Amino acid sequence: MEKTQLRKLGLANLKWLQEHPELKVQKEQEISQTLFHDPCWENAETIAITKSLDFEFDTHILLSRGWQEGKQLLMPITGKNRVLTFHRITPETIFERTAFGVEEPKDASEVSVETIDLVVVPGIVFTHEGFRIGFGGGFYDRFLKQYQGETCSLVFSEQIQENWQVEPFDLPVKRLFIS
């Protein structure tokens, strides 16, 4: 199946799950509890997370827990040449909606990528091996080429699709937390 078709299918599956909030919340709790008890979270002091859209895994769960545990939390800003930079956020950070429809921190200080211990990578479709299809901009594919640290994705079972051809530029995340 083509990535465009898979992306549409993945979005439809995520929106179906959004229409079943009890199930979505249950899956988010299962995934987040598994993550919070995993060394990749426990040992990380600086964690990069995106601000989720309504149909995605609710990353507010991670933000709350991270601040509660005293972790430094970062969010990406999409820059020129489709490059991500990461910026420190706090509960007081102000966000603005981009042309892509995502919220990014406004006036937040940039942090060196080398200081990031864990990147929670978003996606729409995943294989069990950690390959992913995102929204199509290639931002995370470019980033993952350079980043050598710990990566994971928080995945609903509805997002798993094995019947697609991985391309040479596709890079897997190291860990999937699935429910």
Q: Which residues are annotated as a binding site for ATP?
A: 3-7, 132-140
Owner of token pair 């995993």: 38
Those residues with Cβ within 8 angstroms of residue 93's Cβ, 6 or more apart along the chain or in another chain: 75, 105, 106, 108
Those residues with Cβ within 8 angstroms of residue 20's Cβ, 6 or more apart along the chain or in another chain: none
Residue 177 Rama label (left phi>0; alpha psi -120 to 50; beta): beta
* E strands, 32-169, in order: 46-48, 72-78, 84-89, 94-97, 103-106, 110-111, 118-120, 125-126, 132-133, 150-155
Annotated binding-site residue numbers: 3-7, 56, 132-140
Which H or E element spans position 177? strand 175-178
Annotated binding-site residue numbers for substrate: 56
